A and B are shown apart, each in its own frame.
Chain A
């Protein structure tokens, strides 16, 4: 079978039959219920400095976590740790963890890797608290493989949801809380192709001069030689005096937003969405359609001043873009 440039045997995965998938799923089910390694002890007892670092960082002003008097007056009667901090007490810390063990979790991962399910994203975390832990508590954690789903396809790709269950225990062997943690191990969806170039404008004898000037970095405005009126987009006859004689002036490159739309659909692959499109009042008095540059839809406002810059979109096309004035 052919190995593609992505390194993944696409034809293999496409040819995988339902029976193969079922057999693989059955094989994965063999890991469900197994405990992963020995209990992990928390490196430190539950302590005030760690509580302080976290509640200050998240701006949690609940006084029961740091203020003894307030905690005493509460239902807890003493200082307690935030319940949502449960997981932090047993976190591994900065030392890299070895991936080379041969426990059930590593074996399960190797099996998943063998089918190309190499990427991982966490999707759910469900904590239940038996009691709030308090400074001085010495915790430990046990982990078991709780469930492994059938093959599923999500926006990320195709893979299996793996749920582990962490139980947290105090020094007396009483459970203080538990957590279900769900990840998806998946085969990434095929990488998106590079963006195609922007669709070329429809150029004619009457407007190609305007695009040609942009290629040199110059934004021009057509001017009637009969009455001097400026006009845009370029066209052959003056709407005021019907003269077909014209020349052009160079735009100063300043203006303001007359109106705008933000396009979400239909998606043309050359552009990023949401895609704002502006109608800009140039200070000379004509209007021009263009995209903004370095701006999100939230930044846009009718009347907002812009400066206009000419940028190369691809070797054959340069266009004006509006940069919002500070």
Chain B
């Protein structure tokens, strides 16, 4: 089983490994439905265009899920996420790629504060701040 990152190995300024998320249409639809979000703008291209969007877009619950995944991909299964605060920007449309990057902005005891950016070709889709207790 994957080992977890010890707080003793982490310091402010550390960079997290990057993660590229290819934004397929299947991903956007599957994640919307898996979060019980049936708003048409997340699965119906025709209605999405009618409502002024270029195409279907990723829903916010999924953005949150990717932020959570990004943290535990790095910190391991023993990481305890305490809070996730996201600011939303450019939509995630199918065909694009969201490039996730992050860095440790503060360490207090075992709790790391991480700043995360998920950028697509239009700009920043998400800027997140996560507090996570490391093992």
Q: Show the binding face of A for B, using Cβ within 8 Å.
A: 50, 53-54, 57-64, 70-71, 73-75, 82-85, 87-88, 91-94, 122-129, 132, 296, 298
Contact = CB atoms under 8 A, between A and B. Distances in A.
B64 A125 contact: yes
A126 B83 contact: yes
Contact of A84 (B2, B4, B38, B67): B67
B77 A70 contact: yes
Question: Counting chain B CB atoms within 10 Å of each CB, which of A63, A124, A125 scores highest?
Answer: A125
- Residues of B contacting A: mostly: mixed
Which 10 residue pairs of A and B lie closest in terms of their CB atoms, listed nearest first? A91-B36, A84-B68, A53-B34, A60-B69, A126-B85, A84-B64, A54-B34, A57-B30, A88-B35, A94-B38
B82 A128 contact: yes
A93 B68 contact: no
A62 B69 CA distance: 8
A59 B19 CA distance: 12
Nearest to A93: B36
B78 interface: yes
B115 to A, nearest CB: 14
Nearest to A88: B35
Nearest to B64: A84
B127 to A, nearest CB: 10
Contacts of B2: 63
A60 to B, nearest CB: 4
Contacts of A129: 81-83
Given A87-B64, A129-B81, A123 B34 contact: no
Given A54-B31, A74-B78, A82-B65, A124 B36 contact: no
